């Protein structure tokens, strides 16, 4: 359903393609050579020589240019290919900061580790330069800024080699590109593969698995606390909100979740948006908007079984969720579902569960859910690819969900 693009130009800018800048130092052996002399090494490493950056001016092609100190050689290829080319040519990753700042930033990790055992193999491996691909999450605090503005080198010891933005290569310099959610960054540095470093930046490593030690007690405690909260709410011992809050406090008290992660994982924009939409939803109900929409749907479904109205409200909820947050969608469609069920003399629980399921099935656009945005860059998808796969998937959800709803919550 998702088209396979065999065009060579499209492949060149696929999800695994980056455009990186390599710095030529004053004492580099490449000084005085022509750019075209690197073509053999570029071919061996499977990278493409794009051009040259000199004093901020970009020269595309530039095959016959003589390389001078402080030039940036621009190449394009996969992360592995770029790493192989760097090793073969002994060039350096270009940094958006001055050399004095670079040396100061490079010296900082050494000073911090100076008192540690230099014979420790694990720490030696941790300090070795690494190259990693990482996807920018939607809630990352580096979204909307440039690498130069964010000073990745000084703050985190990372060098931005390249950016793949939605499968396209931008023409401005790497350090001046505005980072967007879903971009794939090619990073280099001693801590580039550190999960903690990437997480603090709001990045997710591609093709890298983080393995944490399995502790059966932690698993049992986490499952037990959550099950106890659900049981307490189900039997009316505590309200659902209080029960979940007690479980969260238990997670923090037992050290199951680090305290700092509670604030990091809260999606504050969603909280603010929900706080704004709740009064809007109440006003929409009071002025008769809910009744108007529910009445229109019930008239269209008149003479048909209530299940037709259920399918209609679920389909409408899915379409709304494709352009709006799922929580906000529930705030709008929830009251409509209740009113519609009452007009049809049907079970409101069935309709509420239906819109709850539908609101979580936003498959038609990359903006419907942050996960859709996250895979757009690494998957090399276009905006139009989502509905090709998403539309059949939403139909499958309706086919499976409606009979299940009728079984567990009969109309």
- Domain membership of residue 372 (yes or no) is yes
Question: Which is more confidently placed, 157 or 319?
Answer: 319
Kindly report the CATH number assigned to the domain that includes residue 193.
3.30.70.1450
Question: Which is more confidently placed, 114 or 195?
Answer: 195
At residue 117, the pLDDT reads 43
At residue 230, the pLDDT reads 92
- 234, pLDDT greater than 80: yes
Q: Are residues 221 and 296 in the same domain?
A: no
Q: Are residues 292 and 404 in the same domain?
A: yes
For tokens 């790497």, what's the residue?
174
pLDDT band at 325 (very low <50, low <70, confident <90, very high): confident
Q: Are residues 396 and 344 in the same domain?
A: yes
- Domain membership of residue 119 (yes or no) is no
Average pLDDT over every residue of 220-232: 91
pLDDT band at 354 (very low <50, low <70, confident <90, very high): very high
Taking only the tens place, the pLDDT of each residue in 169-221 is: 554 556 667 787 777 777 776 655 566 677 777 787 776 544 455 578 888 88
- 116, pLDDT greater than 50: no
Ordered strands of the 72-77 beta sheet: 57-60, 48-54, 72-77, 18-23, 92-93
Cα-based distances in Å from 160 to 96, 143, 192, 265: 8, 14, 10, 25
- Domain membership of residue 3 (yes or no) is no
How many domains are contained in the chain? 4
Q: Are residues 254 and 280 in the same domain?
A: no
Q: Rounded CA gap, 164 and 184, in Å?
A: 5
Taking only the tens place, the pLDDT of each residue in 73-100 is: 787 777 777 778 777 777 766 554 343 4
- 277, pLDDT greater than 60: yes
Percent of the chain with pLDDT over 90: 9
pLDDT winner (highest mean) among 85-89, 112-116, 148-152, 217-221 = 217-221
Nearest to 48 by CA among 19, 80, 76: 76
- Domain membership of residue 303 (yes or no) is yes
> Can you say whether the dihedral through the CA atoms of 392, 397, 402, 404 is positive or negative?
positive
- 403, pLDDT greater than 90: yes
User: DSSP character for 409?
Assistant: S
Average pLDDT over every residue of 137-156: 72
Q: Are residues 234 and 276 in the same domain?
A: no
Q: Are residues 404 and 274 in the same domain?
A: yes
Complete DSSP assignment for 11-48:
HHTSTT-EEEEEE--TT-TTTT-BGGGGHHHHHHHT-E
Q: Are residues 105 and 197 in the same domain?
A: yes
Average pLDDT over every residue of 2-26: 56
- Domain membership of residue 143 (yes or no) is yes
Please state which of the ranges 172-176, 289-293, 327-331 shows the lowest mean pLDDT: 172-176
Q: Are residues 176 and 64 in the same domain?
A: no
- Domain membership of residue 116 (yes or no) is no
Beta carbons within 8 Å of 51's beta carbon, 6+ residues apart: 58, 59, 60, 61, 62, 74
Q: Are residues 298 and 236 in the same domain?
A: no
User: DSSP character for 175?
Assistant: G
At residue 192, the pLDDT reads 53
Q: Are residues 401 and 316 in the same domain?
A: yes
Q: Are residues 272 and 258 in the same domain?
A: no
Q: Rounded CA gap, 408 and 51, in Å?
A: 63
Range of the domain at 199: 99-110+124-205
pTM for the predicted model, two decimal places? 0.52
At residue 113, the pLDDT reads 43
- 124, pLDDT greater than 80: no
Q: Are residues 276 and 251 in the same domain?
A: no
């Amino acid at each position: 359903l998702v088209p396979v693009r065999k065009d060579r130009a499209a492949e060149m800018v696929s999800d695994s393609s980056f455009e990186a800048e390599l710095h030529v130092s004053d004492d580099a052996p490449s000084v005085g050579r022509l750019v075209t002399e690197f073509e053999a090494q570029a071919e061996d490493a499977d990278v493409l020589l794009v051009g040259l950056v000199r004093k901020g001016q970009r020269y595309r092609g530039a095959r016959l240019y003589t390389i001078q100190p402080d030039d940036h050689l621009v190449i394009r290829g996969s992360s592995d290919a770029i790493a192989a080319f760097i090793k073969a040519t002994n060039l350096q990753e270009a940094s958006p900061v001055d050399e004095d700042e670079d040396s100061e930033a490079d010296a900082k990790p050494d000073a911090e580790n100076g008192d540690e055992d230099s014979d420790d193999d694990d720490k030696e491996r941790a300090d070795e330069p690494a190259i990693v691909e990482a996807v920018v999450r939607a809630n990352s605090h580096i979204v909307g800024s440039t690498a130069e503005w964010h000073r990745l080198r000084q703050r985190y010891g990372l060098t931005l080699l390249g950016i793949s933005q939605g499968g396209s290569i931008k023409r401005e310099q790497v350090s001046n590109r505005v980072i967007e959610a879903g971009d794939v960054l090619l990073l280099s540095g001693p801590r580039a593969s550190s999960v903690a470093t990437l997480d603090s930046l709001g990045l997710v490593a591609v093709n890298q698995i983080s393995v944490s030690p399995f502790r059966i007690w932690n698993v049992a405690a986490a499952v037990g606390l959550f099950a106890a909260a659900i049981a307490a709410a189900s039997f009316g011992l505590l309200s659902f909100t209080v029960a979940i809050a007690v479980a969260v406090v238990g997670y923090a008290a037992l050290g199951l979740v680090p305290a700092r992660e509670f604030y990091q994982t809260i999606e504050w924009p969603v909280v603010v948006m929900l706080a704004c939409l709740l009064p809007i939803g109440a006003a929409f109900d009071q002025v008769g908007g809910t009744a108007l929409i529910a009445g229109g749907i019930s008239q269209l479904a008149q003479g048909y079984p209530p299940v037709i109205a259920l399918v209609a409200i679920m389909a409408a909820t899915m379409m709304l969720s494709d352009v709006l947050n799922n929580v906000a969608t529930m705030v709008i469609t929830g009251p409509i579902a209740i009113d519609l069920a009452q007009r049809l003399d049907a079970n409101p629980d069935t309709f509420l569960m239906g819109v709850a399921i539908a609101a979580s099935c936003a498959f038609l656009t990359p903006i419907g859910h942050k996960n859709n945005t996250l895979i757009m860059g690494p998957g090399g998808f276009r905006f139009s690819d989502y509905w090709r796969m998403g539309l059949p998937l939403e139909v499958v959800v309706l086919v499976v969900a409606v009979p299940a709803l009728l079984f567990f919550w009969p109309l």
